[in-house]
Amino acid sequence: MTLTMTLTTALTTALMTTLTTLTTLATPLKKLICLAVLGLLALSANAQMPAPVEGSYLLKNFRFHTGDVLPELRMNYTTVGAASGEPVLILHGTTGSGLGMLAPAFGGELFGPGQALDASRYYLILPDSIGTGKSAKPSDGMRAAFPKYNYDDSVEAQYRLVTEHLGVKHLRLVIGNSMGGMQTWLWGEKYPDFMDALVPMASQPTEMSSRNWMLRRLVIDSIRNDPQWNNGNYTKQPPSLQFASVFFGVATLGGSQALYKAAPTREKADQLLDRRLMAPFAGDANDHLYQWDSSRDYNPSPALEKIQAALLAINSADDERNPPETGIMDREMKRVKNGRYFLIPGSEDTAGHGTTAQARFWKQELAKLVQNAPRR
């Protein structure tokens, strides 16, 4: 399906202003939906920007790491640009979707004429990972009987989509944020000759652990221990889903300085929290449980030496999930022979783990990489 819009500049500005206001009041999922709409508006308002095209592909006899097999696994995706362009794979974060990467703060800074990933030059591929967006997921009908998947399964499904359906034989770049960043590390290890460059963001090439895993497990356990979850056979969404999601967002997203700027008093902090707790929440409990649990066995550390592509790792100094003070990045990057680490300084303008969703902080570094990375 081709997504096109014709909007006057005034209407586009008005709509974007309204939606931007909504994102400040909404839950993480609501924000993602708003940002996706914003992305479509931003792309459509520019007559020189190729229109996004959405599609899906059924992977036959997909075998999960557990040994479970689905006769058909649906993978949804969005592309921007002509298939004759240099292919670039763009991977989203947990609970997100490929469309979310079209947001003005991300795609609006990267995909336009003359920008780092100019869609008139590159063939941009934005898949929905297993369990997210319009790809196959528990809420489609299988509920808790849906096979347990992990990031290795997601990367294999992405590879099959790109090669079997889209006919791509080599990628210029794989770039991903948060969960997509972790999957980017795995792409470099599983298919080391398939790309020229890698940009994992808001992630670390080490075992899921510490606060990052503890808080994910709290989300998982909150849902599972909610009597209304009923082993996944609920008739309405268990209330634990939204509460746990808001709790996780406050604890691991936003940045300490930015959060203090937004809520410098108890009254303002209560108002901000109440808005998040009372906002409409469109998520599904089983989908969220599976999404967070899929990171359980993530650990690219043992195979880092397999990475051959030029790699630019990008994190933010105020990332709550990947704090630089642990020294993990400094230690592990020494094992990546063509790797470089770019750390964004924290400030009241950054957003903790969410900083890398704003390409303005790192787009110049990306531009240098895609211009200079050797073609292999």
Q: What is the pLDDT of residues 186-206, one digit of tens each?
A: 999 999 999 999 999 999 999
Residue 231 Rama label (left phi>0; alpha psi -120 to 50; beta): left
Q: Would you call 224 exposed, middle or buried from its count of C-beta atoms within 10 A (0-12, 13-18, 19+)?
A: middle
CATH class of the region 51-206+305-372: alpha beta
pLDDT confidence of residue 37:
55
Task: Of 41-45, 356-360, 370-374, give the lowest mean pLDDT range.
Answer: 41-45
The CA distance from 53 to 35, in Å, is: 17
Q: Would you call 72 exposed, middle or buried from its count of C-beta atoms within 10 A (0-12, 13-18, 19+)?
A: exposed
- Tell me the domain boundaries of the chain: 51-206+305-372, 213-289
**In DSSP terms, which residues pair with 62 in a beta bridge?**
70
pLDDT confidence of residue 275:
97
Q: What is the pLDDT of residues 82-116, one digit of tens each?
A: 999 999 999 999 999 999 999 999 999 999 999 99
pTM reported for the whole predicted model: 0.89
Q: What is the pLDDT of residues 3-47, one digit of tens each?
A: 333 333 333 433 443 343 343 334 444 444 555 555 555 444 444
Q: What is the pLDDT of residues 204-224, one digit of tens each?
A: 999 999 999 999 999 999 999
From the list 175, 212, 180, 204, the residue with the least C-alpha distance to 87 is: 175
The CA distance from 68 to 45, in Å, is: 45
Opening angle at CA 139, ends 135 and 141, nearest 5? 100
Q: What is the pLDDT of residues 35-89, one digit of tens each?
A: 555 555 544 444 466 999 999 999 999 999 999 999 999 999 999 999 999 999 9
